[in-house]
Amino acid sequence: MLERPLASGLPAKWVTADEVYGSDYRFRRFCEDCGLSDVMAISSQTHLFLNGQRTRVDEYAKQIPPRCWRTLSCGKGLKGDRLYDWAYVSWPHPEDESFARGFLVRRSRSDPNDLAHFFTHAPRRTALKTLVRIAGSRWAIEECFEQAKQEAGLDEYEVRSWIGWHRHITLSMLAHATLAVIRSQTVGHSRKKGSRT
């Protein structure tokens, strides 16, 4: 969960999730009922119900006019800003006038057929840049899990009991955190050393 200030200066709690959670209507509804804002990835086979019509999100994305797409960065990557084209469509939230639901689409700049789809639930007038930043924040979490698997054996357990699983996960995450601290201290130390020469 992330906390980001809104334009009004009030903090908002955000949830971001991959397709497994985003495609689950009950989970999205639970987040809304808790007053949380969210940007959740969804399957391309998910349906939108707009203006009384039912349309698959991948089919709807093809109908978005060119003027609606904006190139924005969803965060820093290993090679700099992760730039994609983004389009957003919102509709009123009938049960809460201060929030809007929406459909966000990410399109690769090198392959226009490479699309990712998201449902959003956010305070009205939330900037597109904010939704894009929240959508991109999930990569840091995924990278963290990937590192923990490679460096600390996060995925190398045999589930025999909940206690055993819990201990393994806890120790793996502790090892990963320790490695991250050591890595950041080493990088910081080498930068200081390099600046003296």
Q: Does residue 161 sit within a domain? A: yes
Q: Does residue 142 sit within a domain? A: no
User: What pLDDT was estimated at residue 194?
Assistant: 59
User: What pLDDT was estimated at residue 191?
Assistant: 61
Q: Is the domain of 115 the same as that of 70?
A: yes
Label residue 11 by pLDDT band (50, 70, 90): very low
Q: Is the domain of 116 the same as that of 162?
A: no
Least confident interval from 4-13, 61-70, 145-154: 4-13
Q: Is the domain of 71 the same as that of 159?
A: no
Q: Is the domain of 123 the same as that of 176?
A: no
Q: Is the domain of 119 the same as that of 160?
A: no
User: What pLDDT was estimated at residue 9?
Assistant: 42
Q: Does residue 140 sit within a domain? A: no
The tokens for 59 are 């089919």
Residue 84's alpha-carbon distances to 19, 38, 141, in angstroms, are 19, 20, 19
User: What pLDDT was estimated at residue 79?
Assistant: 78
Q: Does residue 146 sit within a domain? A: no
User: What pLDDT was estimated at residue 141?
Assistant: 78
Q: d(Cα 44, Cα 65) in Å, to the nearest integer?
A: 19
User: What pLDDT was estimated at residue 111?
Assistant: 92
Domain end call among 76, 99, 131: 131
Domain that holds residue 93: 2-131
Residue 19's alpha-carbon distances to 65, 102, 108, in angstroms, are 25, 16, 18
**27: pLDDT strictly greater than 90:** yes
- Mean residue pLDDT across the chain: 85
161 burial type by CB count under 10 A (0-12 exposed, 13-18 middle, 19+ buried): exposed
Q: Is the domain of 112 the same as that of 158?
A: no
Q: Is the domain of 122 the same as that of 172?
A: no
pTM: 0.74
Q: Does residue 98 sit within a domain? A: yes
Q: Is the domain of 7 the same as that of 40?
A: yes
Q: Does residue 145 sit within a domain? A: no
Q: d(Cα 42, Cα 49) in Å, to the nearest integer?
A: 15
Write out pLDDT tens, residues 64-106. 999 999 999 988 876 778 899 999 988 877 777 888 899 999 9
Question: How many residues are there in the chain?
Answer: 197
| Tally of domains in the chain | 2
Q: Is the domain of 93 the same as that of 183?
A: no
The alpha carbon of 107 is separated from its chain's Cα centroid by a whole number of angstroms, namely 15
Q: Does residue 190 sit within a domain? A: yes
Write out pLDDT tens, residues 154-191. 888 887 899 988 999 999 999 999 998 998 888 766 66
Q: Is the domain of 160 the same as that of 63?
A: no
- Give the list of residues 6+ apart from residue 92 with CB closer than 8 angstroms, or none: 100, 101
Q: Does residue 105 sit within a domain? A: yes
Q: d(Cα 72, Cα 75) in Å, to the nearest integer?
A: 9
As beta bridge partners, residue 11 has 5
| Residue scoring higher pLDDT (11 or 177) | 177
Q: Is the domain of 176 the same as that of 99?
A: no
